[in-house]
Structure 1
Amino acid sequence: MFGVGKYEAPAKDRLYQRLARRLFEELAAGTYAIGDRLPAERELAIDYGASRPAVREALIALEVQGFIEVRVGSGAYVCRLPGQGEEPGFAITAFELTEARIMFEGEAAALAAVQITDAEVDHLDALVEAMTTENLLVEVTEVADRDFHMAIAKATRNAGVVRTIEDLWHLRSTSPECALLHAKARDAKVRPVVAEHAAIVDALRARDAAGARAAMRAHLTSVMDHLLFRTEEMAMEEARRALATTRQRYGGGAHA
């Protein structure tokens, strides 16, 4: 288990960073060897007195730096140990990105509500329909989803808003920690929730700025919940399959 004593981390660190640093220090101290399996996510959450989402972010931060590998249905395994003088690095996480999107895109939706044209509302309706179609495809795609959010940004008639939201979407694929979680989500078949996007369009159609802000914030707040739930659900399903295979291999057909 973990070293004795209260862990003191820099006050500027977020919770997941403190957890990642604690694990990093355990690796550097030799608590775990290459190939060792770390305690289960639930156990880490209890040991740290933290939420499972925070633990998951910490594991992702270490995974993108190559210290551990998270194997679906099996757990997190040590891949390499920190070198002398090496420090953990942190990129923008999916949680941080979503927080920023809630701030900027919520206000963008409110501004768009008083600027948007009927033609732009019709275009958003078409994009919601495109999401419905894309959700039926085997391969997960986010084309209509991205176009939807960018269309609202453009409806603000503010180039600064458009550039900011473009940059936020760019971070989804360029920040290693964001990209990793979204890749896991795609593997788990996480798709845009059509009803949430339709609610945003309804508020924009009514030129309801407060309603558009609330609908956008509600949608983005649920995004991470969906990502975490589905990736966890996928891991549980893989674990069930592995257990079933083991039972079939060693106990199948046996009678007491």
Structure 2
Amino acid sequence: MSPLDLPTGSRRYLQIARQLAAEIQNGRYAAGERLPPERELAQTLDVSRTTVREALLALEIMRFIEIKVGAGVYVLDESVRGRTELPEPDSVAPSEVLAARRLVEAETAALAACNATQAQLDRMRQANDRMAETIDDIAAFDAADALFHELVAEAAGNDVLSGFVSQLWRMRESEMWVFWYDQTRHPANRRQSVEDHEVILRAFSRRSADAARTAMQSHLDVLANRFYELKL
């Protein structure tokens, strides 16, 4: 599907990516030219800066642009574009995944604080210890991270919520998510995740639902801030 043919009912960030792709194809922005700053694009297009940022990520996946972190966004020559299709029209924006995780996983953490068995708490501790041991092994770290959150959802004792958490984590496999997340894979960020989990575990040890909810929300806010704070 050409970006110009993207259905008008598609997600907003894809609509903006479609519009910018058309402007690049039509010559409004020439190869080698720097696009206007994110804030200016948001004002011009009457959308949030988050929507613009996600549209730019989609365009970089298509190789219409190159994002030079801290230096700006530049139009690539047509000869180097590897594809002409946007991500799938039903690709969920990373910001939406994070917002949904904040709502759902905060409540599973609150329930887990009340319902987790000692055996479940021990398994969570083991998963987080495994994360700490594999800071420099991304695949092993990610597996332990996923297991930690899976165990929290399981300990909540609500199969529906647990299913929601699993579905949200599967959304992390999307092209948009992986492309964004790869830019945040720094050892310091992985260490921060281990520390965040420690705070959650302390709330569980006190059987404090409110503290667990807040700790999980704070953890997911840190992930969101990494996206918003990338300098485009």
TM-score under structure 1 normalisation?
0.69
Distance 2:138 2:11 in 1: 37
Contact 2:11 2:90 in 1 (8 A): no
Give the SS at the match of 1:155: helix
Equivalences for 1:160-179 in 2 at 5 Å? 160-173=160-173, 175-179=174-178
Aligned: 1:105 with 2:105? yes
| Cα RMSD (Å) | 3.3
- The aligned counterpart of 1:221 is 221
Q: Which structure has the larger Rg over C-alpha atoms?
A: 1
- The aligned counterpart of 2:149 is 149
1:129 partner letter: D
- The aligned counterpart of 1:185 is 184
Distance 1:73 1:207 in 2: 43
Deviation at 1:146, TM superposition (A): 1.0
Give the SS at the match of 1:69: strand
Q: What is the aligned-residue identity percentage?
A: 34
- The aligned counterpart of 1:68 is 65
- Normalized per residue, the structure richer in helix is 2
Give the SS at the match of 2:28: coil
> Which range is displaced more, 118-127 or 33-42?
33-42
**1:231-254 deviation per Cα after TM superposition (whole angstroms, max 9, x unaligned):** 43xx8xxxxxxxxxxxxxxxxxxx
Give the SS at the match of 2:75: strand
Contact 1:113 1:212 in 2 (8 A): yes
In the comparison of the two structures, how many residue pairs are matched? 217
Unpaired segments of 5 or more residues in structure 2? Answer: 1-7, 80-84
- The aligned counterpart of 2:202 is 202
Q: Given the alignment, which residue of 43, 54, 57 partners 2:54?
A: 57
- The aligned counterpart of 1:122 is 122
Distance 1:217 1:87 in 2: 31
Contact 1:110 1:209 in 2 (8 A): yes
**1:50-73 deviation per Cα after TM superposition (whole angstroms, max 9, x unaligned):** 765443222012223443333456
> Which range is displaced more, 199-208 or 138-147?
138-147
TM-score under structure 2 normalisation?
0.75
- The aligned counterpart of 1:94 is 94
Equivalences for 1:242-253 in 2 at 5 Å? none
- The aligned counterpart of 1:26 is 23
Deviation at 1:142, TM superposition (A): 1.4
Give the SS at the match of 2:110: helix
